[in-house]
Structure 1
Amino acid sequence: MLEQSSKEFEWVLIDDGSSDETQNFIEELKKKDLGFTLTAVRQSNAGKHAAINSGVAAAKTNWIFIVDSDDALVPDAVETITTSIATATDKTVGLCYRKAYFSGELLGNDLSTVEQSFISTPTEAGKLFKGDLAYIFRTDVMSAFPFPIFKNEKFVPELYIWNKLGDAGDIIFFTRKIIYLCDYLEDGYSRNFSRHLRANPKGFFTYYWSQFLREKTVYYKLKNLIRSVQCILYMLLGRPR
């Protein structure tokens, strides 16, 4: 964030119950002339979805861009976003750009042969891109669709809310522009899906059942129905020890 070519943003930093040096890092940042507003919120560990809810509630700007603590932005990310926002219509509720590994390798499909931008839904775009995407959403719309919170669970798939936001208006997808850099951690969600599913069955059920109702083809409906049943079984069996 410190290297952005544009300083026209507010950094809302959510400390989700960290036990490392995050608070010291925040205090050091507060002493600097950053050129942008820094808002820090500390809460008990409740999961990324709860941290997003807190960030949206604390934000004072009109748009939200979620960046994980282990990831980074390219230097012109904010500049790219603000330029697109300036040309967005009243119907636009979101923008979406590409992610890449820190090595520069694109996540997902190379779509250089298709149009540079188009309007779609997160579910349908996901089938085309086949890789994680960098979403930016209007704050007022995100405020209307907070993530549900389930006792003793710390995860709800983001696509559950992203689809609801897409139902509220247009999301513009940019097929080429990379603004977000990341790597996958060994203990991350993508590499430990089964464990996360078992630990958060209500959150996953909420997502998969919603997808079952949303999908139009038999294949995807069946896929989400199977996952929904799996979540119900995990709810009956209880949390893993």
Structure 2
Amino acid sequence: KYTFVVKLTIFTATYNRAHLLPRLFKSLKRQGCFDFEWLVIDDGSVDKTTDLFEDFLKEELPFSIRFYTQENQGLIRTLNSGISLAKGCYLIKMDSDDYVMDDFVENICRWIDEIDSNKKIYAVGGLRVTAQGMPLKGKWPIIPKEGYVDASDIERKQYNLDADMTEAWRLEVLRRYPFPVWPTEKFAPEQIVTHQIAIEGYKIRWRAVPLTICEYQEGGLTLGASTLEKKNPMGYAMMYEQQLDRPDFSFQKKICSAMNMFALTMIGRTPSYYFKNKHKVIKLLAFIPGVLLFFRRIKQFVSNGG
């Protein structure tokens, strides 16, 4: 069904980041290996992003650029479009405020060759670091002497891998798990998918090697998580529901997840979603504290700007 023409698709969803994209473009041109395409979807920008790519596409480059524009649909729908359009065997989601090390593609391709025949390892990953070269969480990962650790997405914390990382995902796996978005919203946490893939037994081979340099921008998703939850309560309710299937979660943690799920379905005016048949006992026990949490969340959202 799909024709893979390169090893990597480096995918960037962008919105009003014309001032940052040249930095990423220059870092891609500095690579020593060019077995990749750069796939970019502009999600309704009103700046000079289209003009910028018209200039990029005039250059003679050792890699291909595919540039698309669309009306604003939000990151997750745009990510699904990128996964559908990708022509690489593996996909890397590259934020528009990141740029890459000079050996980025070379390292990723070498790591992929090591795991490509192991179908239960569906991705390879390395570090996103600050401009000063420090891990985003401030602590280096705990990596065995072999130089890597094979861990699922829900096992990351025990290895200090729970900060933002850079991963190259196997497309044939990723395409089986489309990222969900509630019909009336624009965002849901990516971990709904990455944790589901982990629950089903897939692992990532992680290394403590810097791959990308990250400088979070004002208005970005990471810095605006509370606003995202307020604007996308059902997207986050889906995340909390998925946590009820987590084998690593204690019963108490699952009660807390169900409480948050109920509160957010109430805020999203879709409480019927909470009362689906799955996890009946946990949801029943979480119902009353979930009602109390709902009123607390309403107060929090109002105090944070209505």
CA distance, structure 2, for counterparts of residue 100 and residue 69 of structure 1: 15
Equivalence for 2:245: 213
Tell whether the 8 Å contact from 2:243 to 2:257 is kept in structure 1 after alignment. Answer: yes
Whose radius of gyration is greater, 1 or 2?
A: 2
CA distance, structure 2, for counterparts of residue 126 and residue 113 of structure 1: 12
Q: Deviation of residue 125 (structure 1)?
A: 0.6
Equivalence for 1:235: 268
Query: What amino acid is the match of 1:103?
Result: Q
Tell whether the 8 Å contact from 1:49 to 1:155 is kept in structure 2 after alignment. Answer: yes
* 2:150 paired with 1:123: no
Normalised by the length of structure 1, the TM-score is 0.90
Q: Deviation of residue 106 (structure 1)?
A: 1.1
Equivalence for 1:49: 76
List aligned pairs for 1:30-45, cutoff 5 A.
Answer: 30-45=57-72
CA distance, structure 1, for counterparts of residue 176 and residue 109 of structure 2: 22
Q: Alpha carbons of 1:212 and 1:25: their partners in 2 closer, same or farther (altered >3 Å)? A: same
Equivalence for 2:172: 140
Equivalence for 1:195: 227
Tell whether the 8 Å contact from 1:123 to 1:159 is kept in structure 2 after alignment. Answer: no
* 2:111 paired with 1:78: no
Tell whether the 8 Å contact from 1:93 to 1:165 is kept in structure 2 after alignment. Answer: no
Tell whether the 8 Å contact from 1:56 to 1:143 is kept in structure 2 after alignment. Answer: yes
5+ unaligned residues in a row in structure 2: which ranges?
1-27, 271-297
Q: Alpha carbons of 1:79 and 1:220: their partners in 2 closer, same or farther (altered >3 Å)? A: farther
The one of 90, 93, 97 equivalent to 2:118 is: 90
CA distance, structure 1, for counterparts of residue 256 and residue 265 of structure 2: 15
* 2:203 paired with 1:180: no
The one of 196, 206, 213 equivalent to 1:164 is: 196
Q: CA RMSD in A?
A: 2.3
CA distance, structure 1, for counterparts of residue 253 and residue 102 of structure 2: 38
Q: How many residues align?
A: 240
* 2:141 paired with 1:111: yes
Q: Deviation of residue 230 (structure 1)?
A: 2.9
Tell whether the 8 Å contact from 1:93 to 1:168 is kept in structure 2 after alignment. Answer: no
Q: Deviation of residue 168 (structure 1)?
A: 5.7
5+ unaligned residues in a row in structure 1: which ranges?
none
Equivalence for 1:102: 131
Q: Alpha carbons of 1:126 and 1:12: their partners in 2 closer, same or farther (altered >3 Å)? A: farther
CA distance, structure 2, for counterparts of residue 60 and residue 190 of structure 1: 28
Q: Deviation of residue 112 (structure 1)?
A: 5.2
Q: Deviation of residue 149 (structure 1)?
A: 2.8
- String of CA shifts for 1:152-192, please: whole Å, max 9, x gaps: 31111111111233326332122x10101112223222332
SS of equivalent residue, structure 1 residue 162: helix
- String of CA shifts for 1:5-41, please: whole Å, max 9, x gaps: 2111011111111111111111111111110111112
CA distance, structure 2, for counterparts of residue 219 and residue 32 of structure 1: 57
Tell whether the 8 Å contact from 1:107 to 1:132 is kept in structure 2 after alignment. Answer: yes
* 2:40 paired with 1:9: no
Normalised by the length of structure 2, the TM-score is 0.72
